[in-house]
Structure 1
């Protein structure tokens, strides 16, 4: 029997809500990804060009460390990674997350939350991180999901 794990990072709770909906519809397990150094309200201020996230997101090919509390993914066939979109791409910690997962032989599905950005640049960002690790993994086309109707349509690909 195929098993699915929904791994998500959520700074404000928006992605958490969507990840919970996806896990419920897929009857999947759910686990939250944490930054090794948690973000504060000030560090998330996208209007401040000197905020932590503003600086991180503009450092090409940088990584932000994830907390070493990730679940063992060995028994899962499908891994869903959920994240917000910051400056057109996933938070830099998503690349570090991919570095820490053995995705060989898995199916990888991607979702994000965003108020106005599509998934194209995020897809390339994650595919590049997967390629850098030389994983043999099927990467599904990701999508921006902001409500239950979109979630229910998206899970039809499974």
Structure 2
């Protein structure tokens, strides 16, 4: 099975987990890069006027992505993101709406210091209703590879 780990990381935590998932699964890694990078001020969730807060409050907002990838060769796409305002950042929806995931397996994962993965998978499924969604997982910083391997095995995505 060809697997892609596609992720967006604002602070580097999601990137580290994505790299570990790719290493454990033998997957290809793809970073979802915003066309306009986020500054530290943009990421200040305590500021009602910060870019991340404004984007999260506007469910129709779709930040542009700077890069693309051909997903045709992949059977499964593991999609990772930090939790923003109890959901996936809108750039994840930009990514999902940019490709045809019909018949492909999508597995979400998130990183968060508090909030869990829900309700992100429900919103993600609306973006690609012809994809096959599998149970995602919330990871903490420095998640060990043995835990990642067990999760992948439970999904039938281990190498």
Calculate the TM-score normalised by the size of structure 1: 0.91
Question: For 1:85-124, what aligned pairs fall within 5 Å after superposition?
Answer: 85-124=83-122
Structure 2: tracts of 5 or more residues without a match: none
Instruction: For 1:16 and 1:122, locate their aligned partners in 2 and report how far apart those are by CA, in whole Å.
Output: 18
Runs of 4+ residues over 4 Å off in structure 1: none
Instruction: For 2:106 and 2:112, locate their aligned partners in 1 and report how far apart those are by CA, in whole Å.
Output: 20
* Secondary structure in 1 matching 2:49: coil
| Superposed CA offset, 1:67-99 (max 9, x none) | 1x2211111111111111100001101111011
Instruction: For 1:110 and 1:150, locate their aligned partners in 2 and report how far apart those are by CA, in whole Å.
Output: 16
Q: Which residue number in structure 1 is paired with residue 40 of structure 2?
A: 41
Query: Is the contact made by 2:125 and 2:131 (CA closer than 8 Å) also made in structure 1?
Result: no
Pick from 131, 140, 151 the counterpart of residue 148 of structure 2. Answer: 151
Instruction: For 2:148 and 2:57, locate their aligned partners in 1 and report how far apart those are by CA, in whole Å.
Output: 30
Q: CA deviation at 1:20?
A: 0.4
Alignment of 1:59 with 2:58, yes or no, is yes
Calculate the TM-score normalised by the size of structure 2: 0.90
* Secondary structure in 1 matching 2:42: helix
Alignment of 1:130 with 2:128, yes or no, is yes
In the alignment of these two chains, the number of paired residues is 152
Q: CA deviation at 1:61?
A: 2.9
| Superposed CA offset, 1:21-57 (max 9, x none) | 1001101110111011110010001111110001110
Structure 1: tracts of 5 or more residues without a match: none
Instruction: For 1:37 and 1:55, locate their aligned partners in 2 and report how far apart those are by CA, in whole Å.
Output: 15
Q: Which residue number in structure 2 is paired with residue 140 of structure 1?
A: 134
Instruction: For 1:150 and 1:54, locate their aligned partners in 2 and report how far apart those are by CA, in whole Å.
Output: 32
